[in-house]
Structure 1
């Protein structure tokens, strides 16, 4: 199955603004991880960007997961892009 990377950006004052949505966000990510579609995801140390690796049937599936995430729906993630990734090692 193809793998995809996702790079995105966070809003200003992310630590404060994410609070109401954080638990629902983490719960959703846990379900994605359990199902095998999410390999890993997390913020950069300065909390300005997010990086994730997914394994999915197609890019549309990854976009749907991202756009249904509470962080996207509530403008915590402000933009993202996806690229199909070839894991060399």
Structure 2
């Protein structure tokens, strides 16, 4: 399995827009973690960006995980990028 980092941007009114989708978002992340796909994820303190580390068989798998997330589907996340990552330590 390959490690990938993903980072992206939240919408301007993130607190209001995420509220109706937050529990479904968190449930999905917990399922990804239980499956061993998601290592960690979280927002920056200013709620402008998110950062995640995944372990998956391909970049396409990570893309599907992100794009199936309620935050992406409801434009809470507005853009993202994925990069293969080499963990040095």
Both proteins in one fold, TM over 0.5: yes
Residue of structure 1 equivalent to 2:71:
71
Where in structure 1 are there 5+ consecutive unaligned residues? Answer: none
In structure 2, distance between residues paired with 1:78 and 1:23: 19
Aligned to 2:13: 13
Distance of 2:83 and 2:14 partners within structure 1 = 25
- Give the distance between the partners of 1:68 and 1:87, measured in 2 at CA: 26
**Cα RMSD over matched residues?**
0.3
Find runs of 4+ consecutive structure 1 residues off by over 2 angstroms. Answer: none
Matched residue SS, 2:20: helix
User: What TM-score do the two structures reach when normalised by structure 2?
Assistant: 0.99
| Unmatched 5+ stretches in structure 2 | none
1:13 CA displacement: 1.2
TM-score scaled to structure 1, two decimals?
Answer: 0.99
